[in-house]
Amino acid sequence: MDIKNIFSAGLSLAGMGLVFGTGLAYASQKFAVKRDPKVEAVYDALPLVNCGGCGYPGCMQFAQAVVNGDAPATGCPVGGDETAEKIGEALGLEIETGEKFIARVKCKGDKEKCATKYEYFGLDSCISANMLESGPKACAFGCLGNGDCVDVCQFDAIHVNDLGIAVVDPEKCTACGKCIDICPKDLISLVPITQHVIVDCINEERGGHVKKNCDVACIACGICERACPFDAIHVENNIASIDYEKCTQCMICYEKCPTDAISADESRKQKAFIIEEKCIGCSLCKKRCPVDAISGEPKENHIVDKDKCIGCNECVEACPVDAIVMQDV
């Protein structure tokens, strides 16, 4: 009896499935829609993670938009240049690949440097911590370190370090923008991957208590603004911000900043060096140098004063005979 039940149940459902399946198969043949082969080609070139970083719901929609001309071929932040080139190949287009961007958590105020207001025992989520008096940190702008960004990252590219600050792994980051959307403090933004001089603070307050709350906060003193030879850093809204187009990464602001709010990779500090054999003594470099580090009479060899040189690369661009090179210090 039981066996019969099983058989009748199984067979009748299987039979129904078969009938409907056949009907659907017939319908899909009869009403088949021809896909644009270009869309298929673009789709194949994509990373297919459906992260939505491009602004479309998924890779398929993005491929369609690229073929329709609505989205740029460089629109996939995950695949980057490689994908853009593949798409270009598929569509027979010349693709101008832009610079790669990565996410950056603009806060250095870790447990040792930033004071705490209270001890937080709630849900392990920045969003919920943020609802209680903007979180346990004394600075209302700082990274809470509960790792909402870590959870949302599909590429394992962001982690909270031992001192409670989220840090992006530049090699894994694909600039998809998910962490930027989730961060309740709006701390994360995209920066060019080559940029290493960055203001790691977004504190918009001013005055003594900023420094009291956090050792490495930007106090909007404006020293960097005055020191910058290239007009690339400005204090707006009580926070210094760097114009990455103008910045030559000379690190003057980094060296001058009294609170150490600006980060830079010191190992990338370079100084100009003039190759004597090539120098024609045109003085163009001398005129261009923002810190008067180059000396020499016209038509004679010029010399760079290593102590004064800030490694801004301006003279290298000015030299008409490529006689200046940047060297590691």
Partner 1 sequence: METTSIFVLLVSSIFVNNFVLSRFLGICPFLGVSKQVDTAIGMGMAVTFVMTLAGVITYLVQKFILVQFNIEYLQIVAFILVIASLVQFVEIVLQKISPTLYQALGVFLPLITTNCAVLGLALLNIDDNLNLIQTIFRSMGAAIGFALAIVLFAGIREKIELSDVPKPFKGFPIALVTASLMSIAFLGFQGLV
Nearer to partner 1, 12 or 237 (CB): 12
Min. distance of Cβ 11 from partner 1 in angstroms? 8
Residue of 117, 141, 249, 268 lying closest to 200 (CA atoms) = 141
Phi, psi of 167, rounded to the nearest 5 degrees: -130, 135
Min. distance of Cβ 165 from partner 1 in angstroms? 35
Q: Cβ atoms within 10 A of the Cβ of 78, count?
A: 19
Nearer to partner 1, 68 or 161 (CB): 68
Nearer to partner 1, 20 or 118 (CB): 20
DSSP class of 307: T
Q: Cβ atoms within 10 A of the Cβ of 262, count?
A: 24
Q: Contact positions toward partner 1, by CB under 8 A?
A: 5, 8-9, 12-13, 16-17, 20-21, 23-24, 27-28, 31-33
Q: Cβ atoms within 10 A of the Cβ of 322, count?
A: 9
- Residue 85 exposed, middle or buried by CB count within 10 Å (0-12, 13-18, 19+): middle
Min. distance of Cβ 38 from partner 1 in angstroms? 16
Name the one residue in this structure whose structure tokens are 């990274």: 143
Amino acid, single-letter form, for residue 246: K
What does the DSSP assignment read for 169-217? Answer: -TTT-----HHHHH-TT--EEEEETT---EE-------SHHHHHHBTT-
Query: What token pair was written down for 50?
Result: 């459906």
Nearer to partner 1, 42 or 219 (CB): 42
Min. distance of Cβ 42 from partner 1 in angstroms? 18
Residue 297: which residues within 8 A CB-CB, separation 6 or more? 281
Nearer to partner 1, 21 or 258 (CB): 21
Min. distance of Cβ 205 from partner 1 in angstroms? 28
Min. distance of Cβ 314 from partner 1 in angstroms? 51
Query: What token pair was written down for 166?
Result: 């989220």
Nearer to partner 1, 13 or 321 (CB): 13
Nearer to partner 1, 3 or 33 (CB): 33
Min. distance of Cβ 29 from partner 1 in angstroms? 10
